[in-house]
Structure 1
């Protein structure tokens, strides 16, 4: 070897043929045969870890909600909304569903992405993350719940980097090149979207198995059958992880071209073709993957619902145009991998989103596509030139180009126009190619200086990676940065930012984001993004612009009707989990114009106009009937329902008409209606399992309505044997839960009856959870289901579970009552955890309660204005709910130490209490809470004068107040445990929770040493703790009371055991397992 030649360079061939790294002298090959060293592997693993250590894994500061970055983007959606991930924490058997479930389930219908390997891994991680809770990730207080997912991604990135090291060595037999390749891959900033978003797990697992398959393929070249089998197995696992793996045979053959002993590119390709026979096991593995995909998803290629072309116009493009555009996008991935980004707003760096119109797509032979074809020509020419100098480098460049074809939309359009995730695997090959080019240069400047230069360059790249991780701190930061800096023209970026803002109760900002999603580029026509319009309407509602909220909905409906061709027909998309379905848009519009009393007459004219235009939809007739009922035109309403049934007897309209009849006392007619529809469905039920199940469901619903619970239960059992799906499964689960809570209880004693009731509630809550997490359509029935589910959790004292459930739905279907319940659950959660000031949860709780009380106050004012039609009792009920919510809000402000906000809020209540019932209630309870009982009596008298219907309430409060004053006098002179317990109970009844807790704690302190008194005091304290901190804390007090009592009072001991049994039932535990 000449003095000028380094060990990293291929030896020039004496024959003038292109060289290869395999052409080196046998002595050099033997010296490198040991492979990369343990130190090299360790350094690469450390480099990969350091790029993710901060802020992805570690954050500083006491106010952080999460240890490290929160889950963001696709990962957040998958972990919190995918049925497998939501079910696995409470039912490990749900993991089996990962083997038959689409990667997106119903979150992106029609995508047909069968990826069981990452789905199973993600489900398993959800179980680990849940740590005994019934959810994998706490949206409000993530804490450490995201760490298992982050460790998974870090481990995947490290494994990939080490496999790149091994693959580079397999190609070059050079330790330095292999080390540089692994190090470069470990720190590439382009991997941010893949690694920092848990949704990139599919890409990482597919890359791991693809690299492992390639290594096995290279080793199989020596005639090793076991390596060939391993290659086939790894290829199958890669194809069951992500679709780019179907390109692996071409990638393998491209790599083999560089292993030819002599000749140019043509000779290399002939050599690679000679190995086609060995490719049979790999081809079989891919055919198995295709078969599984079709068997599990029912389709080979994706089928996108109408409107998907708004984000990816290639979905609607012709095949020729799509392929030419796709080739341009694919070749653009080459500069994007190194940070030169033609699709980013600044043309440098990276982006978390690429969608229309950020990426302009034109005609097949437009200028952009011609430039793309020229780039491909140059790239192929470069392969020929590089191959002429070094076969290995030429083959690596060719393999990189082949891997980039995964981005080309050749076989079918993908969901994303362009994605940095699809650059993860090509970047592994590119890293090896770049390392083979850089290593000789570093070798020339000397070993130590060369290593220093390599490490400094790696540190610079790592710094860019760490800086980019900051953009992924949380969903809000991710989409704010993306929509404002890297993808300013992206419809989806603005839409996602708006969704986050809506979820975080920032409707004004969300409104701006959704408006940008509709018109992302100034001066350009608005896009047909119907979902953005639906959410814009909700943002307007949350911001108090009720009248304006109808406008984007009518626009969205017009767009959807145009997509449907102006006529209605049943569609496979009727049950997709999207808010821009036409029927849901109609429901939302009706709830604004009619339920809120804004313009029911105008809404009726609007619906009549739709029918006159030829859009004869049963849903139009359904909501026309609802509108007519509101206008008290009952005969016309009934006819509207019947007109809808005549078009298509959909479940919701049949049930609505049946209940309408029963409300009028026409039970016989309702039964005839049901039986007619059942008979119609039964005609074809033998031929269609779906029709058979629908028939059984309608029969069960009718039996339930008539109180025949046994028959309804039997029919439901038949349905579940047939394995219902989608809407039918959701409705069946809901009916099953209703049977549990509504069916009469036959028990020997009141205690047995109460225990049975609680056990049924626990079982119903489990069923409702299963129903809600597998069906997320925002419609009437779903809202009812979520309200029932969270009410069950609340009544069972499971405040954290209830708040998580509410949080995942309240901003998807906002209502004042659900928001009030969320705020109350969060309040008790803070009380239980003592987290008022230690985390951001206290401030979040106060904000939720403020929002809820404002909405309830508005509802109360509307009810007051309509009390002549609605009746005074409804006004009092809404006002009472408002008062409870505002009281919790005021207490929350005091607990977090925001005295200024408290004074301002309470002063507002004092000013309004001279006119409205709700603020007057707030004033009364606050006066009791601070001990100004005379003021409370005056306010009660004022209430009775202005609201005679409050007589019972006023009498009750006066009685409790008088008893409390007498007890306090006794306690002042002789503070016995008995007197303190009586005070505590009275204070709790008057909503003075703080005073009740103080009195109960003092009773326990004074009764220590007296077994009976201590047991009684702890039992009273348990009643309050059950409300304040849930049944778990109450159970501890009851068990302490039992231990303190011993054998001193058998009758009291029996009472405590009964209470213990009830608490076990609330917690869903088996008393037999109790210690």
Structure 2
């Protein structure tokens, strides 16, 4: 089989395995990052480059992914906010990355059959379902595609054009997701493992290093810190809790889940996956096993294992702490190393029907698991019910499941779940907001204000949605001056919150403060230009 045919087969397999999940809806973070994001709806290229990835209050400074946001904006403006359209684009991108994996595997030394197997494995690996079937998983797919493309450009004769193309593609990978920053180390480690002359490879390493430096400088200008990644999951913890916990997650979540497709879960946080302590024998065993595996891989020059370990390093919570202990989607780029390793081991087996049959059996099993896992991400109900089964009692899972139960008119069950969330995390804004909103809608404004006050006591920095809801409660009670104060606080906390600008403008108009009303209503329209009702109302303001 030629490489081109192998790449085509890998791309076709990628599309086939995700075909059944394309009709799903938006779930979880799709809403704040895509559906409710004014940058996606009406942003400009300059705004993409100058804005953080998260626009939710308190989350602005953590991540910087302008190319990913730009792709959402293009998608939305061509197809509207259609979840199947977003999912289809993700599947097409995944198919392209799978094809690219074939060419890169061959360039790294595998024969055409083994390189094709590496691409096919990448196409149907179950751990990729979260990145491909979830709309905001696109950050992983884009970063991986650009990173693998950059690596491919930097193999072979390093002519100026190839160096420039590799550098530009690597920059695109970084602007899609910051985890691509591990590529220079992976390229260098692979070169050394393949015994490439360092002097000949130095220009490629230098080009990638320069791009990293420029990216970090620009990132610091936008976010205020080059290495900011948001709220650290392990805040307050250090040695040995973090490395022991991450070593356990490495084997359970990444190696076992990544290679078998079993035991996958959308929520690996506490308490379902508890932190290790200094006396955790399992954690020490996992850490020693990881160190031994890394040493063995380097000594035996197992290229795939080395690539996997290096590309996974940014997600280890050791170089820089993340907001999560780990996730399936973060395996997307590193898993190229696992596919490379599996294909290299397969290539060493005696050729024949047994070898071909074993590969086919594994690929078919993975395909079935991937198709099933992708459907889990098809709706909020399927996602949170499946996650509740593997992570019972986790606050994130309870909060998601509560909204599913509320949508099923099981509001008391939903209230109980949100109360459990707030016991574990008193500053969980979404849970406090929804509990208070339901109290308000049920005609209990005093209970709603009490719930909001409890949240504000636990989280003094505040939340724009909480402030806006307090404004709405005050407005309904006829306390317009108080409502103005709360709405102004909401706008101050999140200047891109269109609804807060809208409500503030309407209250100011009711109070006869027309200059302020016009300014706020105009701001709301800039953020949400599709609000035709507000546009007509603004024409009536003197």
TM-score, length-normalised on structure 1? Answer: 0.45
Shift of 1:202: 0.9
CA contact (8 A) 2:38 2:496 kept: no
CA contact (8 A) 2:498 2:523 kept: no
CA contact (8 A) 1:110 1:303 kept: no
Shift of 1:478: 1.2
Given candidates 487, 499, 519, the residue that maps to 2:391 is 487
Residue 633 of structure 1: aligned partner: none
CA contact (8 A) 2:110 2:344 kept: no
The one-character-per-residue Cα deviations of 1:342-388 (angstroms, maximum 9, x if unpaired) are: xxxxxx42112222222211445644542332122221243156x1x
Q: Write out aligned runs for 1:954-993 (5 A).
A: none
> Could you say which structure has the larger radius of gyration?
1
Instruction: Give the secondary-structure state (helix, strand or coil) at the position aligned to 1:218.
Output: coil
Given the superposition, is the C-alpha separation of residues 455 and 795 from structure 1 closer, same or farther in structure 2, using an over 3 Å criterion?
Answer: farther
The one-character-per-residue Cα deviations of 1:629-665 (angstroms, maximum 9, x if unpaired) are: 9xxxxxxxx9xx9xxxxxxxx9828999xxxxxxxxx
CA distance in 2, matches of 1:73, 1:471: 12
CA distance in 2, matches of 1:298, 1:544: 44
Given candidates 462, 468, 478, the residue that maps to 2:383 is 478
CA contact (8 A) 1:256 1:395 kept: no
RCO higher in 1 or 2 (8 Å CA, sep ≥ 6)?
2
Shift of 1:199: 0.8
Q: Write out aligned runs for 1:37-48 (5 A).
A: 37-48=3-14
CA distance in 1, matches of 2:347, 2:439: 59
Q: Write out aligned runs for 1:585-984 (5 A).
A: 595=477, 652=485, 767-771=523-527, 792=534
Task: State the Cα RMSD in Å.
Answer: 4.2
Aligned length: 533
Given the superposition, is the C-alpha separation of residues 50 and 490 from structure 1 closer, same or farther in structure 2, using an over 3 Å criterion?
Answer: same
Given the superposition, is the C-alpha separation of residues 183 and 316 from structure 1 closer, same or farther in structure 2, using an over 3 Å criterion?
Answer: same
Given the superposition, is the C-alpha separation of residues 507 and 257 from structure 1 closer, same or farther in structure 2, using an over 3 Å criterion?
Answer: same
CA distance in 2, matches of 1:400, 1:173: 16
Residue 161 of structure 1: aligned partner: 98
CA contact (8 A) 1:98 1:120 kept: yes
CA contact (8 A) 2:17 2:371 kept: yes
CA contact (8 A) 2:102 2:119 kept: yes
Shift of 1:148: 2.5
Residue 142 of structure 2: aligned partner: 205
CA distance in 1, matches of 2:486, 2:48: 35
CA contact (8 A) 1:733 1:767 kept: no
Q: Write out aligned runs for 1:359-508 (5 A).
A: 359-363=273-277, 366-384=280-298, 387=300, 391=301, 394-441=302-349, 443-446=350-353, 450-483=355-388, 485-502=389-406, 506-508=410-412
CA distance in 2, matches of 1:213, 1:655: 47
Given the superposition, is the C-alpha separation of residues 795 and 170 from structure 1 closer, same or farther in structure 2, using an over 3 Å criterion?
Answer: same
Given candidates 42, 54, 73, the residue that maps to 2:28 is 73
CA distance in 2, matches of 1:792, 1:278: 55
Given the superposition, is the C-alpha separation of residues 102 and 653 from structure 1 closer, same or farther in structure 2, using an over 3 Å criterion?
Answer: closer
Shift of 1:495: 1.0
Given the superposition, is the C-alpha separation of residues 770 and 367 from structure 1 closer, same or farther in structure 2, using an over 3 Å criterion?
Answer: farther
Instruction: Give the secondary-structure state (helix, strand or coil) at the position aligned to 2:322.
Output: coil
CA contact (8 A) 1:236 1:288 kept: no
The one-character-per-residue Cα deviations of 1:172-193 (angstroms, maximum 9, x if unpaired) are: 2401100111111111110111
Given candidates 404, 407, 418, the residue that maps to 1:514 is 418
CA contact (8 A) 1:110 1:302 kept: no
Residue 317 of structure 1: aligned partner: 237
CA contact (8 A) 2:171 2:211 kept: yes
The one-character-per-residue Cα deviations of 1:851-897 (angstroms, maximum 9, x if unpaired) are: xxxxxxxxxxxxxxxxxxxxxxxxxxxxxxxxxxxxxxxxxxxxxxx
Given candidates 40, 51, 60, the residue that maps to 1:101 is 51
Residue 889 of structure 1: aligned partner: none
Given the superposition, is the C-alpha separation of residues 167 and 38 from structure 1 closer, same or farther in structure 2, using an over 3 Å criterion?
Answer: closer
Unaligned runs of 5+ in 2: none
Given candidates 120, 132, 135, the residue that maps to 2:70 is 120
TM-score, length-normalised on structure 2? Answer: 0.84
The one-character-per-residue Cα deviations of 1:294-353 (angstroms, maximum 9, x if unpaired) are: 12222223375xxx57xx3x033347754554455445522221247xxxxxxx421122
CA contact (8 A) 1:557 1:586 kept: no
CA contact (8 A) 1:476 1:497 kept: yes
CA contact (8 A) 1:75 1:198 kept: yes
Instruction: Give the secondary-structure state (helix, strand or coil) at the position aligned to 1:415.
Output: coil
Matched, 1:180 2:78: no
CA distance in 1, matches of 2:10, 2:96: 10
CA contact (8 A) 1:322 1:413 kept: no
